[in-house]
Amino acid sequence: MSSIDAIFAWLCGLHPGHVWMPGGDWLPVCQRCVGLYAGILLGSAWHFFVRPRATPGWLWAHGFLLAVSALFGLHLFPETGATRTAAGFAFGLGAVALLWTCIAGKGDVRMERASSRDYAAAVLVSLAVLLWACQAGGRGSWIVLNGLCALGLVCGAVLAAAVAGQGIHRALSVIRGTARLIPSA
């Protein structure tokens, strides 16, 4: 068992019937997690480089992605490997968009370099390439998909740590502010 397999063993149930095998080798995570980590990586890159504007429509669209992926996670619809991967991808994109908004704040998030249409096109093309690599790819796809999963995990961990750190900072600011308001005895 490689170190990447050991790390992902803690995070993914790895149902044997739900694993992509590009090049004949199992990926270290299930089909849904492949999509999740790829979505986190793509969403993080998009937010870091393009900095989309967090309009109400943008937030609703990403909330919708989270809701749809949750419905697939509850097995309310017939599932295939492609739908599991797409649902994970949608969840990763939605989670990153909402968490990034928490970090950046409403005033700092802006779409300077691309439009929502460009974003949608990038998402669809990325999902199509991801599904192709999972289903038809060889050993090279297996290596790239392992890298995507590892980088997506790192991006997700950094994003979660940033949100937690910001929350702790805000809580400490409130505590310090409250402490100054209490009269000394």
Cβ distance 117 to 62 under 8 Å?
A: no
For 175, how many CA atoms within 13 A lie in the half-sphere containing its CB? 6
Two structure tokens written together for 126: 């990325």
84-117 tens-digit pLDDT: 999 999 999 999 988 888 777 644 445 455 577 7
Give pLDDT tens digits for 148-168. Answer: 999 999 999 999 998 888 888
pLDDT for position 98? 86
| pLDDT, position 108 | 47
Contact 65, 122 (CB under 8 A): no
113 CB neighbour count, 10 Å cutoff: 10
> How much is the pTM?
0.81
